[in-house]
Structure 1
Amino acid sequence: MNFYLNAYSKSNFIIDVIVIITFILFLFVSLGNKRKFVFSKEWDLSFYKRILILVLIYLALASTIPFFLDVSSFIRVRIAWTVLTIALPLIGLVHFVFSKRTFFLFGSIFLVCIKFYSEVWEPNFLDVERIQIRSDKIVSPIKIVHISDLQTDDIRDLHLEVREEANRFQPDLILFTGDVMNHASIYPIVTSYLKEFKSNNGFFFVTGDVDHILRYTDFSKKSGSVLWDRKSKVLQVGKNKIGLIGLGLPDYRNKTLIWSLRREIPEDIYSILISHYPDSVLHQPNEKVDLVLAGHTHGGQVQVPFFGPILTLSKVPRHIAAGGLNAYKNTDIIVSRGLGAEGHVAPRIRFGARPHLILLELLPANSTKETAKSGI
């Protein structure tokens, strides 16, 4: 019951039907003799307060019971999303039919619009962020495309737009910080898609949470990328030398490994660490890198105005996990909100956290850092 189809649509439909039925039964049993208000023109404010409390109780039970049963957190999120954007609108429409109160009609329409916006509109509304960083370790401009969390179920117009923007930028390097796709069935089309990205000095990739489904050697060959887990090397990029350090998925807090890889880069060379988890910035040795590129958080996928991401699955400060350029203890860190969404049966939603393509320019020291943002 979504505005999209993917390999999990059958499972999603079954879960949604079960949730809707159990929610309606729970609501009607709990209301007792008050349930008559759903089918009448009478107005009782205490009744609607009770409805709200029951919805919260149901969501609490739906979140905690699967937790104790060791059920995937994706299912708990799906239950909440189904109640809020399908079950409640249905209840609202039923009440509108009997009560003729337009409040319930507009309330239902509003919730469905939120569903449409979060599942269809924003996930396909690309945010291209241009960032400039100046350093006295840089001799001439370097262009870098930073991609993260492609984490897709298909290749659609958004992805073609990403590739077009990236290639138009004419990057020297493409750095991909993990999470390629949500299921292996789209392996051929994803590798073919990535193969068409162009760069002057290479396409480097580190693994993310869902990348265990990749056949790494085959993936590198077919996508044109170089697997950079647990590697460190000085690259010649035009007139510059750049130290590129890559961390695999389990290495983000391995201080000994990070220290060892960092030591291979001379201090006078600009160093970039690429890692799926932004938490790598919390585990640096004393000889810090100049820049960390990461993903993983998806910017929370849902951000609340004046608060930011509700859930980031990261220990970095919330404003860092939200995405973009920030600084942490004298190290610049850029976190991409990614292009996709959580997989399996989790709802593919984004709200206040648009898909994110980062076009980065490293420039010779001049004045101050600049950032510029453009919505496409």
Structure 2
Amino acid sequence: MAGFWILASLAAIGIWSIAIERQLFVVRQESIKVLPKGSNPIRVLQIGDIHLAPWQRAKQRFIKGLVSHQIDLVVNTGDNLGHAKAIQPLLECLQPLLEKPGVFVNGSNDYFAPVPKNPVRYIFHASEAPKSAKLETSKMTNAFEQAGWHNLNNKSVELEVAGNHIRFIGVDDYHIGKSNLSELAASQAFTIGLTHAPYLAVLRGLTLRGAEMIFAGHTHGGQVRVPILGALTTNSDLPNKFARGTSGWSFEGKNSILSVVAGLGNSIFAPVRFFCRPEVRLITLLEVD
């Protein structure tokens, strides 16, 4: 009898993780005091790790509906694509948000189609760079840029956001060796950093170049979280306890705040989430006390 209940429990967990929780999209809201004194509040929608496949209609509807929130800036931290034929559906569901000011960086899955992997390996070390078909990345990034979003892959830009002058710096995906911080000089202007994968070397590099607020994705929040223990992996060298949410960092006397979004998707070859609902983050940046 005990064996029956164990099997029944495992089956219930599997059904919940695969068929239900992955569809329970949520908007997590938070306020962070980080802007210089006298700044206006900035409402930031952080979206990432969409991993879109063409048949994922519920996810597309959720993304389209995000425009109903008051948004001053969209921050997209990459891994938008989850299928070779996802670019057009992605652009269609993002269209309302593309009409908002935005900045973005890419993740590895914006360059390469997903391939089957052993998910258990993620627990013990970060996954290797994918060896799979290349995607039409430029089609996606060109559409983002034509809509007015700013490409921050190893680039910087200064923008007016909600009446505030903000410098943005970003890196392409460190996880596949595309990041390059060398041309991102330090600045005295208030700076926001973007990266897809929150490796410690990237957090250090962005912080030392003046980023006081950093947005990242990649971790999926752990994707599978164990009660009490939390995330079992971040697929990087970021400690597991920082797999999602907000944390503070200090490097050589310079401080930054990191926001990691657990993302809206997962690989089509690992269609599971447990105690880790798919999310976007709606963050109100406020002036410091």
Runs of 4+ aligned structure 1 residues displaced above 6 Å come to: 251-255
- C-alpha spacing 1:262/1:336, structure 2 compared with 1 (3 Å): farther
Tell me the equivalent position of 1:124.
Answer: 23
Query: Which of 244, 251, 257 is residue 323 of structure 1 equivalent to?
Result: 244
Tell me the equivalent position of 1:152.
Answer: 52
- Greater RCO, CA 8 A, separation 6+: 2
- C-alpha spacing 1:117/1:287, structure 2 compared with 1 (3 Å): same
TM-score by length of 1: 0.63
Is the aligned partner of 1:236 residue 2:160?
yes
Counterpart Cα distance in 1 of 2:229 and 2:107: 27
Q: CA deviation at 1:199?
A: 5.0
Q: CA deviation at 1:260?
A: 3.5
Q: CA deviation at 1:283?
A: 3.5
Q: CA deviation at 1:238?
A: 2.9
Tell me the equivalent position of 1:290.
Answer: 212
Is the aligned partner of 1:338 residue 2:253?
no
Counterpart Cα distance in 2 of 1:285 and 1:254: 19
Equivalences for residues 134-149 of structure 1 within 5 A: 134-137=33-36, 139-149=39-49
Report if aligned partners of 1:170, 1:198 keep a CA contact under 8 Å in 2.
Answer: no
Is the aligned partner of 1:361 residue 2:284?
yes
Tell me the equivalent position of 2:198.
Answer: 278
One-letter amino acid of the counterpart of residue 217, structure 2: G
TM-score by length of 2: 0.80
Report if aligned partners of 1:192, 1:222 keep a CA contact under 8 Å in 2.
Answer: no
Counterpart Cα distance in 1 of 2:15 and 2:135: 32
Report if aligned partners of 1:230, 1:246 keep a CA contact under 8 Å in 2.
Answer: yes
Report if aligned partners of 1:150, 1:179 keep a CA contact under 8 Å in 2.
Answer: yes
Tell me the equivalent position of 1:181.
Answer: 81
One-letter amino acid of the counterpart of residue 238, structure 1: A
User: What SS does the corresponding residue of 2:108 show, helix, strand or coil?
Assistant: coil
* Structure 2 unpaired stretches of 5+: 112-133
* Structure 1 unpaired stretches of 5+: 1-101, 367-376
Counterpart Cα distance in 2 of 1:105 and 1:251: 43
User: What SS does the corresponding residue of 2:61 show, helix, strand or coil?
Assistant: helix
Report if aligned partners of 2:104, 2:152 keep a CA contact under 8 Å in 1.
Answer: yes
Counterpart Cα distance in 2 of 1:199 and 1:131: 23
One-letter amino acid of the counterpart of residue 219, structure 1: M
Query: Relative to total residues, which structure has the larger strand share, 1 or 2?
Result: 2
Query: Relative to total residues, which structure has the larger helix share, 1 or 2?
Result: 1
Query: Which of 103, 107, 110 is residue 204 of structure 1 equivalent to?
Result: 103
Report if aligned partners of 2:34, 2:212 keep a CA contact under 8 Å in 1.
Answer: no
One-letter amino acid of the counterpart of residue 315, structure 1: D
- C-alpha spacing 1:341/1:300, structure 2 compared with 1 (3 Å): same
Report if aligned partners of 1:220, 1:227 keep a CA contact under 8 Å in 2.
Answer: yes
Query: Which of 221, 224, 227 is residue 305 of structure 1 equivalent to?
Result: 227
One-letter amino acid of the counterpart of residue 56, structure 2: I
User: What SS does the corresponding residue of 2:184 show, helix, strand or coil?
Assistant: helix
Aligned alpha-carbon RMSD (Å): 2.4
Counterpart Cα distance in 1 of 2:275 and 2:167: 34
Report if aligned partners of 1:243, 1:271 keep a CA contact under 8 Å in 2.
Answer: yes
- C-alpha spacing 1:121/1:254, structure 2 compared with 1 (3 Å): closer
User: What SS does the corresponding residue of 1:122 show, helix, strand or coil?
Assistant: helix
Report if aligned partners of 1:290, 1:332 keep a CA contact under 8 Å in 2.
Answer: yes
Q: % of aligned pairs identical?
A: 26
Q: List per-residue Cα deviations over 1:304-358 (Å, max 9, x = no partner).
A: 11212112211112211x2011111121000111111124xx3300011111110
Tell me the equivalent position of 2:270.
Answer: 347
One-letter amino acid of the counterpart of residue 79, structure 2: D
User: What SS does the corresponding residue of 1:197 show, helix, strand or coil?
Assistant: helix
Counterpart Cα distance in 2 of 1:149 and 1:317: 19
Is the aligned partner of 1:168 residue 2:168?
no
